């Protein structure tokens, strides 16, 4: 059998008035165990639990005492209870496996779904408390992301509702540098192209393409959407 725990005060109930008494009982139980007086040790451990104090150490040591007494079923029961408090403890796992080796019935477990296997794997490398913390931050991150999405959607909707667009209607349009036929030719666009209208001066429209190019086009060559 593996280690026998020494009681850690911080793991006890906050009823401090009984802490010294409880520690004394636990120490007595451990001493009886070391003296191989397992029945007496069991009585002491059980009295701690009956007084409402439950933790992994008490159940683990009680399981050890039952194991040494040959009461395998009681040992397994208390190892399993200790496991609820410390699911990843190597000593608990080892002693539980040792006790289970004495069972008459060898029942093969049905293979679990991969989801449960993944969950068990993650719980062995990440504590439940850490996972809950991660889930909390993921929840907050989701809320923030959703809020940013709504904000961006609102901005986009506002821009679209307050931005004028037009479609080029002429086959070929020479885009000028100024709202005048004498302006320099900047680039050429063709029919069907969607452009943003930035300004209007003397029957000319200042437009911007999606690639950022800006110039002037006669208003009769575009149709506002």
Beta bridge mates, 217: 205
The reported pLDDT for the residue numbered 161 is: 66
Residue 117 structure tokens: 């296997």
The domains of the chain are located at 16-107, 114-154, 164-224
pLDDT at 169: 94
Domain 16-107 classification at class level: mainly alpha
CATH 2.30.30.40 is the classification of domain 164-224: yes
In this prediction, residues 202-224 reach a mean pLDDT of: 94
Read off the pLDDT of each residue in 162-178 and give the average, rounded to a whole number.
Answer: 91
**Region 106-112: what's the mean pLDDT?**
69
Task: Retrieve residue 36's tokens.
Answer: 């191989």
Q: How far apart are CA 39 and CA 15, in angstroms?
A: 28
d(CA 216, CA 225): 18
The rounded mean pLDDT for the chain is: 85
| Cα end-to-end distance, the chain, whole Å | 83
Number of helices (H) and strands (E) in the chain: give both, helices first. Answer: 7, 7
Per-residue pLDDT, 82: 93
- Token duo for residue 218: 């006669």
Overall average pLDDT of the 158-178 stretch? 86
Query: For position 5, what pLDDT does the model report?
Result: 58
pTM above 0.85, yes or no: no
Checking if the pLDDT of 220 tops 60, the result is yes
Question: 173 near 195, Cβ under 8 Å?
Answer: no
Whether residue 177 is predicted with pLDDT greater than 50 in this model: the reply is yes
Is the separation of the CB atoms in 192 and 167 below 8 Å? yes
pLDDT single digits (tens) 118-157: 766 666 666 667 778 888 889 999 999 999 888 888 777 7
| Mean pLDDT, residues 150-178 | 85
Residue 202 has pLDDT above 60, yes or no: yes
Give residue 114's pLDDT: 64
Between 29 and 163, the higher pLDDT residue: 29
Average pLDDT on 96-110 reads 83
Separation between Cα atoms, residue 23 and residue 4, nearest integer Å: 15
Read off the pLDDT of each residue in 41-58 and give the average, rounded to a whole number.
91
DSSP-assigned letter for residue 8:
P
């Amino acid at each position: 059998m593996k280690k026998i725990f020494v009681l850690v005060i911080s793991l006890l109930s906050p009823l401090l008035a009984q802490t010294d008494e409880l520690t004394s009982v636990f120490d007595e139980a451990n001493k009886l165990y070391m003296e191989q007086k397992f029945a007496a040790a069991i009585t002491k451990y059980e009295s701690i639990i009956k007084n409402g104090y439950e933790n992994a150490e008490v159940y683990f040591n009680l399981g050890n005492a039952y194991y040494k007494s040959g009461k395998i079923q009681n040992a397994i029961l208390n190892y399993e209870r200790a496991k609820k408090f410390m699911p990843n403890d190597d000593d608990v796992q080892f002693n539980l496996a040792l006790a289970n080796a004495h069972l008459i019935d060898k029942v093969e477990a049905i293979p679990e779904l991969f989801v449960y296997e993944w969950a068990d794997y993650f719980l062995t490398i990440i504590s439940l408390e850490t996972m809950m913390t991660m889930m909390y931050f993921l929840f907050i991150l989701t809320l923030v992301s959703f809020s940013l999405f709504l904000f961006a959607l609102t901005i986009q909707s506002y821009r679209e509702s307050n931005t004028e667009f037009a479609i080029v209607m002429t086959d070929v349009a020479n885009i000028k540098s100024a709202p005048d036929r004498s302006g320099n030719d900047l680039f050429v666009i063709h029919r069907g192209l969607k452009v943003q209208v930035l300004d209007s001066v003397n029957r000319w429209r200042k437009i911007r393409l999606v690639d950022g190019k800006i110039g002037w086009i006669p208003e009769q060559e575009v149709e506002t959407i």
